[in-house]
Amino acid sequence: MRFLCDHMLGTLAKWLRFLGNDVVYPGPIEDDELKATVEREARVLLTRDRELSGRVAGSVYVASDDLNEQLVQVVRAFRLPANLAMTRCSVCNAPLREVPKADAQGKVPEGVFERQREFWRCDTCGRMYWQGSHWANMSARMQTILSKSSLNEPPRDSISKA
């Protein structure tokens, strides 16, 4: 999915990227610019601004300020796969590319280089990724969040028809 998160949803943007979604997070910009970007780039606006969500067709008002509840709402509303994916940079949203292990040498901590077999790099910002303990903890957190939710229930109508 292609989303645009308003400036109040930076952490949600990062987690949706971890789930493999293309998520733009422009920070604080004017509502008209958000709306124009959504229309120009065919994105779904995720916002904590109820009034703005009513003015942008197809947008979603994110009801909670709790990250876990936000994830459940968006995953349910769009029936997103809830598995972590090594496809998008969590920092800049660019696609990740798997790289040979040798390319990671000197760019990741030595212990990580010795223990891990697979590495991914963001060619835009240079950040390196691997599936270490942080990945396992995030995956477990995601499964816990989603197992406690009612993902099998039909999603509530949270999409704006503006």
Residue 154 in this model has a pLDDT that exceeds 90: no
Residue 156 in this model has a pLDDT that exceeds 80: no
CA distance 138 to 127: 18
Supply the range of the domain harboring residue 101: 96-130
Residue 162 in this model has a pLDDT that exceeds 70: no
Q: Are residues 71 and 100 in the same domain?
A: no
**Would residue 77 count as lying in a domain?**
yes
Q: Are residues 49 and 72 in the same domain?
A: yes
Q: Are residues 61 and 100 in the same domain?
A: no
**Would residue 8 count as lying in a domain?**
yes
Residue 157 in this model has a pLDDT that exceeds 80: no
Q: Are residues 13 and 60 in the same domain?
A: yes
**Would residue 151 count as lying in a domain?**
no
**Would residue 159 count as lying in a domain?**
no
Share of the chain above pLDDT 70, in %: 91
Higher local confidence (pLDDT), 55 or 156: 55
> Residue ranges of the alpha helices (H) in the chain?
10-18, 31-41, 50-55, 67-78, 101-104, 110-115, 133-148
CA distance 126 to 58: 34
Higher local confidence (pLDDT), 44 or 153: 44
pLDDT of 143: 84
Structurally, the chain folds into a number of domains equal to 2
Q: Are residues 7 and 81 in the same domain?
A: yes
**Would residue 115 count as lying in a domain?**
yes
Q: What is the mean pLDDT of residues 72-78?
A: 92
Q: Are residues 34 and 103 in the same domain?
A: no
Q: Are residues 43 and 69 in the same domain?
A: yes
Residue 96 in this model has a pLDDT that exceeds 90: yes
Provide the Cα torsion 39, 40, 46, 52; round to 10°: -50
**What is the C-alpha radius of gyration for the chain, rounded to an integer number of angstroms?**
17
Q: Are residues 44 and 119 in the same domain?
A: no
Q: Are residues 45 and 120 in the same domain?
A: no
What is the DSSP track for 22-37?
A: EEE---S--HHHHHHH
**Would residue 13 count as lying in a domain?**
yes
| Average pLDDT score, the chain | 90
**Would residue 122 count as lying in a domain?**
yes
Q: What is the mean pLDDT of residues 8-14?
A: 96
Share of the chain above pLDDT 90, in %: 73
pTM to 2 decimal places:
0.87
**Would residue 17 count as lying in a domain?**
yes
The angle formed by the CA atoms of residues 75, 79 and 81, to the nearest 5 degrees, is 75
Q: Are residues 74 and 122 in the same domain?
A: no
Nearest CA among 93, 91, 96, 97 for reference residue 43:
93
